A and B are shown apart, each in its own frame.
Chain A
Amino acid sequence: MTATREGATFASGTATDPAMAPHNMTLTLRIWRQRGPADKGRMVTYQVEDISPDMSFLEMLDVLNEKLILAGDDPVVFDHDCREGICGSCGLMINGTAHGRGTSGGPTTTCQLHMRKFKDGDTIDIEPWRATAFPVIKDLSVDRSALDRIIQSGGYISAPTGTAPEAHSILVPKKDSDAAFDAATCIGCGACVAACPNASSMLFTAAKVSHLGLLPQGQPERNERVVNMVAQQDREGFGGCTNIGECSAACPKGISMENISRLNHDLLGALRAGARPKS
């Protein structure tokens, strides 16, 4: 039984499958190559052939990298892991838009962008997130640890393990819990920063401030949270928010600008109440 299908597992949609072959594409890629933080970096042009429309964008880059490795060249470094749009690892500027929004027709993660959105003969520009707070590590991989430090500065509820009351002792209106969930779906990819002309992390921070601030459990630390997280953004070198909205338009999780209004409202309230950031 096993034998009858042995070998069939991977056989489909390849150049050897005549049904697929006519649709496969040849593309020109212009990719940002940078050896390390000290290197200036440059765009380098590559050709890739036989790209199936069913491939994901990252699978297309895999094809290129396999070729580069065999040729003894340095493969292109990019971050990725889950490849299903949830871990937030991937993030490329594709033809000048974060996660390739301009190509896909709507916000998505880079790993969920598929090659059927491109045409045979296209030239595609691929660059890293660009922001002072996201230094390039190599090629397309950047250091986003600044986002973790924003969470460290207050993006939590202090609930030491084992001290929690019975879950049903805290009632949360469905409306609030749904809104908190929507904000909590931010995957920390940094596309909002990359898309913002000011390289501001406001949408990311606002998503966490909203998530926790909308819940009864999040009230005790609400004022300190917002002032400290906002102060940390500044320390990390992110730009200020001028309400342009590019962040939300690029966000693969649909985090809305409403969250930024909530943050501003909370911040004002906190400052009025005398809350000041820890130095």
Chain B
Amino acid sequence: MNPVGLSTLYWKEVLRFLKVTVQTVLTPVITALLYLLVFAQVLEDHVEVYAGISYIVFLIPGLVMMSVIQNAFANSSSSLIQSKMVGNIVFLLLSPISPLEFFVAFVAAAVTRGLVVGLGVWLTALWFVDLPLAHPGWVLLFGVAGSAVLGAMGVVAGIWAEKFDQLAAFQNFIILPLSFLSGVFYSIESLPPVWREVSRFNPFFYMIDGFRYGFLGVSDISPWFSLGVSGLFLALVSAVCIRMLATGYRLRG
């Protein structure tokens, strides 16, 4: 065990995003607010997803979660691809840090970034709208689970991608569709039956639904079930990721 190594790597990854907070925290918060303004304006009068809950109140938890997961992904994936391109990944590879420690440090840093950005979006949104917070425990649980899943996916993508455009493809063809088609902007109950069924295979749907439950106290699916699915998915992605690290895939020539 190398606990000092693990915590050092965690701090390094956190410092890396804290040194450029405009880009890593402020920009995503502003992006989320733009979404909020546009969608809330356009759709306010047309949609009511849950009885007695305005569309904007429905929308905000989804947007917060989307920011959380996208930034968690960005943190680990961009750090890894940069280190690989610049070559300074060798410093890490030369050290006695185990694959598991490597994984935990990167994912924990991604969770930290995700939660910091999520907190930013939430606090700013509070300024505009009165938001309920029914079960803070569930909010935190799904926030951590969601950003851990995406942090781990970011490690996988960062190891796999050999160029920035490959990483962009991973982001545009996997992460973005999964997060947009997960019910951030709508409830899947309002979809045609076919799409409703398809959505049930999207793990991001459960993360967002559970997260929203924490705020609103209502959801499409039981939060326990969503937690189970998210946990299972996290275990799966983690296993793939640790396996890649242990074999040295694309890191140790």
A, B bound: no
Chain A: residues with CB nearer than 8 A to chain B?
Answer: none
Chain B: residues with CB nearer than 8 A to chain A?
Answer: none
